[in-house]
Amino acid sequence: MTLLNKRTGTQEEFNKAKLEESITRAGATEEAAREIASRIDPTTVNTTEEIRTRVVEELRKTDAAIAERYERTRNLAARKAVEAAMGTVRLHVETMKALGASPGDSIILEHRGNTHTLRAETASVERREIHLHETDLEKLGATEGTRLATRRST
């Protein structure tokens, strides 16, 4: 069993299937995702960020656009926000930087095959959270606290 340190400070067991799924969500074929995941030796990395870096390096060898999408996607906890207008997503300024986004950019949220595009706003929210209107959360079929794949639209 290989434990990885996450950015949140918690530890998680390496899960090859989960890694393959995240690579596929970025746009790689299932075959490419399996191949890349098989090249990642969990005993040679300590953090999920190191895995992300290695996956991006592998993806860049075959498809720079998918590599960028993988690198810029973050799984963030959704929170209902009464102050958020429908069609907007409120993000911490550091999260915006990590996504390569600016206020007004289109942000794509994904949950279980549902995709919704919203306009980005900076706000005083937790770094690992996104705040959105209840209606936008419902369109994704998600509930408060659900982790949503979040990335800037290209």
Say whether pLDDT at 126 is over 80.
yes
User: Which CA distances in Å does 30 have to 17, 47, 64, 73, 149?
Assistant: 11, 24, 17, 18, 18
For the chain, domain boundaries: 3-71, 73-152
* pLDDT tens-place string over residues 13-39: 999 999 998 899 888 999 999 999 999
* pLDDT tens-place string over residues 62-101: 999 899 888 888 889 999 998 889 999 999 999 999 899 9
Residue type, 9: G
Q: What does the pLDDT read at residue 139? A: 94
Distance between CA atoms of 48 and 10, rounded to whole angstroms?
A: 11
Q: What does the pLDDT read at residue 113? A: 85
Handedness of CA 19, 41, 57, 129 (dihedral sign): positive
For the domain with range 73-152, which CATH number is right: 3.30.390.50, 2.40.40.20, 3.30.70.360, 1.10.10.60? 2.40.40.20
Say whether pLDDT at 154 is over 80.
no
Distance between CA atoms of 135 and 7, rounded to whole angstroms?
A: 30
